[in-house]
A and B are shown apart, each in its own frame.
Chain A
Amino acid sequence: MKISRRRFLQYSAGTLALSTVIGYAGFSQARPIRIGHQLDTTGAVAAFAKWHNKAIDAAMKRLNEQKGIAGRAVELVNSDDSQTNPNVGKEQFGKLVSQKNVDFVIGSVFSGTNIATAPVAKELKTVYFPQGIATSIVGESGNRYIFKSYHSVRAAVEAGYRWALDNLGKRWTIIASDLEFSQSQAQDFAAKVREAGGQVIDTIIVPFRTPDFLSSLNKINLARTDALYQAFNAVDTVRFMPAALEFGLTKRVPVLGLIEGIDVLDVNTAPYEGTYYITSYPRRSDQVASDLTKLDTLYRERVGIGADGKSLDGKEVVPIADLFGSWQALSLIKLGIEQSNWQSAKDTPSFIQALEVNRILKAEEGFPQGEQFLRAQDHLSFHSHYIERVENGKLSVKTRLPEGLYTPSVDYTKEAF
């Protein structure tokens, strides 16, 4: 069809008028707030990153349906592949800020990348929400530009150790890979066991992604060990647990770990039966406390997670708890912008100061994980934890734990901008 000049002008005028009307109905004319996602499309955390991206997208849709933040739309800007590689991730962060003009960045799930990126966030004066959970990210490796709306390893260990010592045993062997995520756990758990009068028989360090776990299992002093703490991520756990069953370990000593080690794994097989996890949210909706069921339904529906904790097609196990970090990062951004009247990058110091108030964040759609406490000094928010155990192939809540508040190792509020 050939379009005449007159027709063209008519169409253009119509489109212009229409878009103006839509614009006024929805958002003000202000530029959208651009949120970058430091996205690992490939590498060890690719399976997690994909779901974080979905969670961010879902949280943004919800915000935009409610007229965005301070009347401005929010917009997701994905980085190129950060490759689960600290150097690449750091570079991608720089590109997000300087080339793609993002205002805030939600970070990689890989702790190594978070640690490498933190100094760049400060240098570029951009607030960064890392999604890895190694303790040092909200400690000595972090800075005033870092906020975390989901636990650190230390908070999880702090929440769970007392229960573990009272119920599983006093003498512990710890087995961990050489990843930052695992080392963080090994050190924090050992410190807590000793502090509580328990005993650490041994800490066994295994190379990340080792193909053969039997020789490492053989190092465990079975005669003296009451319980085993395993600090592996999914790739190692999926090798370690079957080997532990065959070796005869699982039936002799209880095994405890963080949910992060299995949160993309189906636990409905023999190697996982009877194992314990410190978790920060129940995988299955029928395990969620009654005060949170309404929010649970909303969160699962929005992100696309079934009642059994799997994707809606039933093919993948979704790291449901982990995703709160990304969802709630957006809620922190909203809170900070509203409290500080943030307009653009120059207001970032007042944005940070607005969030640097010890504050209870009530359980609501923005914080569906449950009530939490945002601490001023280390910019970390503390939430409930749970002990879950695999029973008949399903993760079942044994107890709900307090939030695992620990003494902060830093005070970012004293740091210059």
Chain B
Amino acid sequence: MDFSPFLFQALNGFVWGWVLALIALGLSLVYGITGIINMAHGALYMLGAVIGWYVIQATGNFWVALLVAPFIVGVLGILVEALMLRPLHAQPAATIIATFAVMLILQQTVLMTFGGTPQSIEKPWPGLISIGDRSYPQYRLVVAGLSAALLVLIGIVLYRTRVGLWIRAVRQNPELATTLGIPVSLVYSLVFGLGSALAAFAGVLASPIVSVDHQMGLDILIAAFMIVIVGGLGSLKGALIAALSYSLLENLLSALPGVDPILAKIMALTAMGALLLWRPHGLFGNATA
């Protein structure tokens, strides 16, 4: 029996899991620290890809786009937090609606300017790996690698720096943090800006795989929320494990004979739902988080 289809599927599941973790990272951070349920996460991911596309058109360089787009979207995120979300902080329901509005505004603005036709972006790293008679694009390994590097970097910032200490303090008890002189508003702005920049970063990195169009954010929004919730509120480790297990499960299921990709997706999502019934606060969450 030829095992290369299974091997291929296992590799793809593992690698795509890191891509998903990267896509969910910004959401996890914002959700965990500011408590904002950011419905605009997918739209910020899309905006990153769109800005990336324009930068690539202008400069011809993908890596420039990977730096410029997150910066612009990050600044936009800081503005959105300061102007729109800060006045609503005390009301979680209102922030859902506000970020939903941001999502619609971004989507329609992109439709009006960028147009409705999906645009492809060429892979900046075209190499392939052979697995039996199939080949696997090396670019996906690059994305997975960058995702891992970013997760480590964010971990270091959170647990080894002063700003990280502030962020963790604000997350635990904002009132107490304020009395200790931590600039809580600034922390919220920075975290939302960082979350937005990470979404854009993921958007640019994913764009050579998924291409760019104004609705691409909706494709990942549900998966991203699921990963963050299953992983446990704001837990980076949890989000990574959730992303990897969901992706591996979906990929391995769809390797089974008679299981269509659509059925595999349904089964994997059902399994994630069941996991939440067993652990309502997610893998690494607890009731007080």
Contacts and interface: CB of A to CB of B under 8 A. Distances in A.
Contacts of A178: 262
Contacts of B250: 215
B135 interface: yes
Contacts of B261: 204-207, 210, 215-216, 219
A264 interface: yes
Contacts of B118: 234-235, 238, 265
A317 interface: yes
Contact of A219 (B13, B120, B128, B254): B254
A247 B115 contact: no
Residue with the greatest number of chain B CB neighbours at <10 A, chosen from A50, A209, A246: A246
B8 A234 contact: no
B220 A269 contact: no
Residue with the greatest number of chain B CB neighbours at <10 A, chosen from A46, A209, A215, A238: A215
Contact of B16 (A212, A239, A248): A212
Given A219-B254, A246-B135, A46 B116 contact: yes
Interface in A124-177: none
Interface string A247-274: 1100000000000000011000101000
A211 B220 contact: yes
Nearest to A49: B116
Contacts of A298: none
Given A234-B118, A239-B210, A215 B262 contact: no
A207 B262 contact: yes
Given A211-B209, A238-B118, A248 B133 contact: yes
Contacts of A216: 254, 261
A115 to B, nearest CB: 20
Nearest to A264: B117
Contacts of A47: 115-117
A316 interface: yes
Interface residues of A, number: 38
Contacts of B134: 218, 222, 247-248
Contacts of A23: none
Given A205-B261, A205-B262, A235-B118, A248 B135 contact: yes
B210 A218 contact: no
A42 interface: yes
Contacts of B137: 246
Interface in B234-280: 250-251, 254-255, 260-265
Interface string B223-242: 00000000000000000000
Interface in A195-249: 204-207, 209-212, 214-216, 218-219, 222, 234-235, 238-239, 242-243, 246-248
A44 interface: yes
B189 to A, nearest CB: 30
Contact of A238 (B8, B12, B120, B264): B120
B196 interface: no
Contact of A316 (B111, B117, B209): B117
A43 interface: yes
Contact of B12 (A48, A204, A206, A215): A215
Contacts of B260: 204-206, 219
B12 A265 contact: no
B213 interface: yes
Contact of A235 (B12, B213, B265): B213
Contacts of A45: 116
Contacts of A246: 128, 135-137
Contact of A215 (B116, B206, B254): B254
B9 interface: yes
Nearest to A175: B261
Given A209-B218, A218-B8, A317-B117, 12 more contacts: A46-B111, A206-B261, A209-B219, A211-B206, A214-B12, A215-B16, A215-B250, A219-B254, A238-B213, A239-B209, A248-B133, A264-B117
Q: Would you list the 7 A-B pairs with minimal beta carbon distance, nearest first?
A: A47-B116, A46-B116, A246-B137, A238-B118, A205-B260, A47-B117, A238-B211
